[in-house]
Chain A
Amino acid sequence: MRTMKMNTTFSKSRLLLVPVLVMLFAATVYASAPGITGTTFNLTARDAFISQPDGASVYSWGYGCSSAPSGFNPPATLMPGATCPTMQVPGPTLIVMEGQTVTVNLTNNLPTSAGNTSILFPGFNVTATGGVVGLLTHEALPCPTPTACTTNTVSYTFVASSPGTRAYYSGSQGDLQVEMGLYGAIIVVPTAVPTGCTAVGSIPAHYVAPGNSAEADYRLAASAYDNPRSCYDREYLFQFSEMDPGIHKNALAQVTARTGCAATSPTCHLDVPTEPYHPAYFMINGRSMPDDMDPNYAREYPHQPYNGNPHMHPGEQVLLRIIGQGRWQHPFHEHGNHVRILGRDGNLILSSTTAGEVNLAGPLLFTTTTTPGLAMDGIFYWTGKGLNWDPYGHNPASSDSTAKLPCTPDANGYNTAATTALNYYEWCQDHNKPLEAAPFGDVAGGGPATLPDPNILANGAWFGGSPYLGPNATVRAVGPTGTTPPSGTIANSPTGEAGFAFMWHSHNEREITTNNIFPGGMLMMMLVDSREFQIDESN
């Protein structure tokens, strides 16, 4: 009963809770798909406690780096603080080049009672050496104090045969070890730049908005696949998993009880039931909302370095790398638009097998179901096309020059000729089309809709303050003289950002909770930002 009472406090006082949560991620930090680079990766499997937003520290196992990786991507110059701890959930994202021979050396530093461990790399032709032969691959014997152990390291070697995102995870007692956190992602990036794509480092002109310095390029590659339709401007990696805290508690109790046991002892093993399964934590990249919107490599999560906090400008092609880890499917719903699935598990889906075929045949989804072990690559964008009103609230009669920018349609109807224009990629058919029936502030009337009195509305923490995109339009639209900024909405400043916020979340809605507390779990806010706002994906 006591727990229930506590939960009531949380769920029914969520209006109070939200500002508190928001304060936790008030700093503006964004995602990208950070990871470690090289051809040889020295990994270890260890135990540690990971943090959840209800205050719980959950005993977990994870992969980490046993020695410094040869590099980080994005590099430390772009993303200061990049680190690879000895244990992290998910494991280090391995970023490798297409065609390279990759070697992963894994040392098992889990408690002896946890038994052998290993890594499976589905989708690659792996040669395993060392350790002992297990059911699915070679396994490393446990050696919690890594001295004088000879069989606790295994090596996996394979050629990164084709581009794409794939999962890796434990191949030893997976029902327990994957649950405990032994999983991660491997991204193979194309070596060539397909026609029409922009090479990494040659910052696309449309990142640069007036008054902003150039946005750094955080991409791992110019394209997701060796295909010109897979070019992208930004990318984000999301790994979905869930945890049953009972299993973790039980594992910790047994590991503790068997501390120091000899591997040869018949009682030196764990007997943790993994059914019936009652997960209470639902995570994206090892974190639950709102922690997932904190920075990559944030100090408060020493074992959960990766976040989920996507931002983009209108018109940008955004690559989503989505992986199901854990054991359940999760219907991941992207508000704002559809996602074109490019491929699954590194297999590009094309309309024919003819050489040179470029036509994509993957589905268009607004809900991308994650399935354990399955990785998807997809492209998302947002332009505001078809709203039938001007999301920038342009007003040709305004005295503010920003309020009356021109929109010159290209062959597809978008304003793309002026690459540094604030309204780059505006949908020109709706340019200057008013939304509101009556003029207000510095926004023209004559539109279809009458907005309700703001006094009978409740504003959300990510509400930009007006129906319009960007600080200029928002400030013009909300005061009678067009000069009054709206009262602050905490996470999306009306005068600074005023982005369009879209909730990206599991549509098994009970999974947007953290141990029975709403909001939480598999939830993040994606922001489409006007180019007045500079997106900085560094920490």
Chain B
Amino acid sequence: MKKLYQAVLFVLLCCLTPLVANAQSFRVQCPTSTITHPNAANNNSEPAYTAPTNVNGAIKCQQISGGDGYSTMGDGTQTYMFSFGPLSGLSKIANGQPGTDFPSEFNVPSPSALLPGAPATMATPSSGTSVPIGFGYNGAVGLTADLDAIADGKCVAPCLDGHVDPRPIIDVGVLNGNIPAPLFAIDEDDEFFLTLTNVGMIMRPDLFEQHTVHFHGYPNASTFYDGVPDASVAINIGGSFTYYYLAPDAGTYFWHCHITPPEHLQMGMVGQIYVRPRQDRVALGGDLYASLQQQELDNRTKCDSTQDILCSNPLPAINTAATAASTVVNGGHSGGYAYNDGDGSTYYDVEYPIQIHGFDPSFHFVGMTFNPEQFADMKDKYFLLNGRSYPDTVTTGPLATQSADGKMHFSQPLPSIINIPAGKKALLRISDLDVTEYQTLASLGIPMTVIGYNAKLLRDQAGNNLYYNTNSITLAGGESLDVILDATDTTRYPSGSVFYLYTPNLDHLSNDAENFGGLMTEVRIN
């Protein structure tokens, strides 16, 4: 069967060839240096933030496939998706981490041949329910030496200039769809090179669908990299398009395909992205208020409420004299700030991206066939947190689904278990890409402190924090917010206790015909 599909795709690719005489087709981009980040040696780690005169940030790269795949619903139903999958950072994604690489990680050819279905088919155990998964490769799938360029004297070995071998891309990329799509995480001031490689939808050879990436919420976006096919360009099957972004203001964003949104979003082309603040790069013990004052010295990073109506982090009204805590970026193992707050109020010890979504099984069934779809009466029956319904939300490790090629694929890499060390704080980066209705997520136990909304700090122009406590949040598709679960009170939230995040939309606590499941997960105090 697999060979048949590959043959079909090969024929499709060949059909395109006459049209693309000089086409570069598949390729990746991850320069080790740029005019913004000229010193390659500094671009593989985040530098400390001290003053705006520094060249801050680094270079980050990621490759994703646009195609199709299958996922497993909470009642065991195998569900067809149009979807994105990882084509770099495979090991990180399968382990529930962002797949974003520094150039030193991205520009690494695979040490061994990647099998169809990788990493699930190359992992130990292949059932995919434990981490680590026993598969360590994180480079760009397909990356290989550009032998022609070497032969022509234009490049010196190893000459990893973005040239790729399409075979591993097809082997790994076909049917490797994930829900949610691969997670991106970047730091403010990073240059982010995101390559979308359109491997085609092998189950729908009737469709010559392009795919795009819409970085939802990117401030002052360019149309070219906004991913709206009507307003820009979209990549055809058999080609790659590299999106280029300077990491925008810190916050919880999300991304999705923008081709025929009611169809491609419902079918599963939705993912998460967040941007970590400069404040994470302040050296341990550094003064946060003073650091934010430094940001005020650069027009690009300042927030002067008298001049700019669209900035959200002016200096805090009260200088709390907070100092920089341990963050992932400044040398800690976990932890960070959600925003450049200047007062330490958005600190968390652990962070969890959570994406709310819904699947209409009828739409997905029709989507797997060659039949027309109806939009007006779309009705979700699976209610998803990170692509899973309860009880799958509390299953560790990546969920694997056997797909039409007979291979196992890691279809849903992200569990939604909120593990909080006793006495600590968790940041929930919640986004919603449901295409039909609003959904509510409630916290049974620890109150939710909402600190950010739509990727902006909740702070007024006078510098007062507008955070509020609540036990539920309601989002539509196209919205995000940041919630802190504060478990510092170990009397009320002792080690070993379990709380729930669940939806009070009670009909959403179901997995199609099963009346128990749906939009629910656990908060575990460790």
Chain A residues within CB distance 8 Å of chain B? 4-5, 7-8, 11-12, 14, 18, 229, 278-280, 317, 329-331, 333, 335-338, 340, 351-352, 359-361, 363-367, 369, 379-389, 391, 409, 411-413, 429, 433-435, 437, 446-450, 452-464, 466-467, 492, 500-503, 505, 507-513, 515-516, 518-519, 525
A366 to B221, CA, bound (A): 12
A456–B23 touching, CB < 8 Å? yes
How far does the alpha carbon of A381 sit from the alpha carbon of B219 in the complex, in Å? 10
Contact A462 B35 (CB under 8 A): no
CA distance A525 to B228 in the complex (A): 10
Instruction: Check if B248 is an interface residue, CB within 8 A of chain A.
Output: yes
Q: A365, A384, A448, A501: which has the most chain B beta carbons within 10 Å?
A: A448
State in angstroms the CA–CA spacing of A519 and B229 once bound together. Answer: 12
Beta-carbon contact of B231 and A501 below 8 Å: yes
Residues of A within 8 A of B235 (CB): 452, 456-458
Main secondary structure of the interface of B (DSSP, over half): loop
Q: Is the CB of B234 within 8 A of A457?
A: yes
B241 touches A278 (CB 8 A): no
Docked CA distance A466–B162 (Å): 23
How far is B297's CA from A413's CA once the two chains are assembled, in angstroms?
A: 11
Interface string of B362-405 (1 = CB under 8 A from A): 00000000011111111000000000000000000000000000
Which residues of A have CB within 8 Å of B248?
386
Determine which residue in A12, A412, A508 has the highest number of CB atoms from chain B within 10 A of its CB, and name it: A508
Contact of B372 among A12, A385, A447 (CB under 8 A): A12
State which of B73-81, B130-138, B342-350, B460-468 sits at the interface with chain A. Answer: B460-468
Residue of A nearest to B433 (CB): A507
Q: List 20 A-B contacts (CB under 8 A).
A: A11-B373, A336-B226, A352-B462, A364-B312, A366-B454, A366-B455, A367-B478, A385-B219, A387-B246, A412-B308, A446-B35, A450-B162, A450-B242, A457-B236, A457-B241, A458-B234, A460-B234, A509-B266, A510-B375, A525-B231
Q: A448-B244, A452-B233, A459-B233 known; 16 other A-B pairs, CB under 8 Å?
A: A8-B371, A331-B438, A335-B221, A363-B458, A369-B479, A384-B222, A412-B304, A448-B193, A450-B162, A455-B21, A460-B229, A466-B224, A502-B223, A507-B476, A508-B477, A510-B376
Q: Report B424-460 CB contacts with A as 1/0, cut-off 8 Å.
A: 0000000000111110000000000000011110101
- In the complex, the answer to whether B376 meets A338 with C-beta atoms within 8 Å is no
Q: Which residues from chain B contact A448 at a C-beta distance below 8 Å?
A: 31, 34-36, 191, 193, 244
Taking CB atoms and an 8 Å cut-off, the chain B residues in 314-367 that contact chain A are none
Is B376 in contact with A509, judged by CB distance below 8 angstroms? no
Does the CB pair B309–A340 fall under 8 Å?
yes
Question: Would A525 and B230 count as touching, CB distance under 8 A?
Answer: yes
Q: Is B178 an interface residue (CB 8 A)?
A: no
Give bound CA distance, A507 to B309, whole Å.
24
Which of B144-152, B257-265, B284-292 is the contact stretch? B257-265
Query: Which listed residue (B20, B207, B220, B437) contacts A383, Cβ 8 A?
Result: B220
Which residues of chain A are within 8 angstroms of B112 by Cβ–Cβ distance?
none
B438 and A453 contact, CB distance less than 8 A: no
- Least CB distance from A248 to B in Å reads 14
- B300: CB under 8 A from chain A? yes
Question: In whole angstroms, how far apart are the Cα atoms of A365 and B217 in the complex?
Answer: 9
Interface of chain A, main secondary structure: loop
Which residues of A have CB within 8 Å of B239?
452-453, 456-457
Do A449 and B36 touch (CB < 8 A)? Answer: no
User: Among A389, A391, A503, A508, which residue has its beta carbon within 8 angstroms of that of B231?
Assistant: A503
B224 neighbours in A (Cβ, 8 Å): 466-467
Closest to B26 in A: A456
Q: Take A364-B310, A364-B312 as given contacts and tell me if A458 and B191 are in contact as well, using a CB distance cutoff of 8 Å.
A: no
- Of A337, A382, A512, which is within 8 A of B262 by CB? A512
Q: Return chain A residues, CB-CB under 8 Å to B236.
A: 456-458
A338 touching B374 in the complex, CB below 8 Å, given contacts A360-B461, A412-B299, A412-B308: no
Contact with A337, one of B220, B244, B263, B466 (Cβ below 8 angstroms): B220
List residues 174-230 of chain B with CB under 8 A from any CB of chain A. Answer: 191, 193, 207, 210, 214, 216-217, 219-226, 228-230
List residues of chain A with CB within 8 A of the CB of B4.
Answer: none
Contact flag A501-B228 (CB < 8 Å), given A387-B222, A507-B476, A507-B478: yes
B466 near A453: Cβ-Cβ < 8 Å: no
Q: Give complex CA distance A19, B153 in Å.
A: 46
